[in-house]
Structure 1
Amino acid sequence: METMRKVVLSLGSNLGDRLQVLEKAINKLTRRFPRNFKQSSFYETLPWGFETENLFLNCCVIFDDTIQPEELLEVTQEIEREFGRELKSNNGSYASRVLDIDIIYMGNTTIKTEKLTIPHPLMYVRNFVLRPLVEILPNFVDPLCNQSVKELLDRCNDENNVLLYNK
């Protein structure tokens, strides 16, 4: 019997109709992972790690599932490709993108391979992940830091303003 885990994904877009892209991607995820699916509000943010005039729209989703981490990575990358995404980054450099889906948590699972690290290693310094996540999962305890998501946000030094997005 496979173990049911709480899966957390962060979604972002800064090209095209950002809201429509995120809503369509969330719809695909909801159909694939319907158990206890929850979504945060959308937040508008400055780009992180590179320069562009295109603001990002970000959100987090959570759901329960027994999927294995490598299979989830394949599912999220397939959804990204459906929206035209080709590379996650170019030689470690970030660029504007129609859709980005990052795996943040899979329950208390910790993984570090060439292709996948869970919890996501940069989530601790990204307001655009922590702020929406606090909205839907504030008391989840990070398996590496042994702190709640709310505590992680409180200690995050990311100066990037994360503003609630009004449609």
Structure 2
Amino acid sequence: MTRVKICGLMNEGDIRCCVQAGVHGLGFVVEYPVNVPWNLTVDKAKELMHKVPPFVSTVAVVGGTSEHILKVAKETRPHIIQLHSTQTLQEVKELAQELNLQGIQVIKALRLDQEGKCDFEIDDPLIAARSLAQTSLSALLVDSYTKSKPVGTGVKVDYSLFRHCKKKAPSR
């Protein structure tokens, strides 16, 4: 089943528009470690997440240290945390276990460059997907990145590579 998440929401109008369009997950970039125009403070993200109606998931898109990510999760209480930076496999495992105990699902962004390599300690996307599938993650999100723009690139991901990752990664 295809699910739609719109990321980078900044205000109540964005929330209303997405909800009316039937979006499943609303992404709020919270205190991301790279300066991006859609970055929210914890307080602003928390305020906006409280305005999301029932049956629509809230997603805190985060990066940085594990301590910072856990702090954001504790303060905003989203349905889902999206790890969207360069966490190690061990950090992903530990964060997913801890956040799952708190009732928060975890998505890891598997960011691919235009050559099809991952921005992850395992640069082969198939091996990375297989390794990440062995953790307590709820989902992998395939996204693009460039050296100059780690998020919000507007660059299309090679869908054949995505389909190959999906086929090779074990499903739950």
TM-score by length of 2: 0.31
Which structure has more RCO (C-alpha within 8 Å, separation ≥ 6)?
Answer: 1
Q: Which has the higher helix share?
A: 2
TM-score by length of 1: 0.31
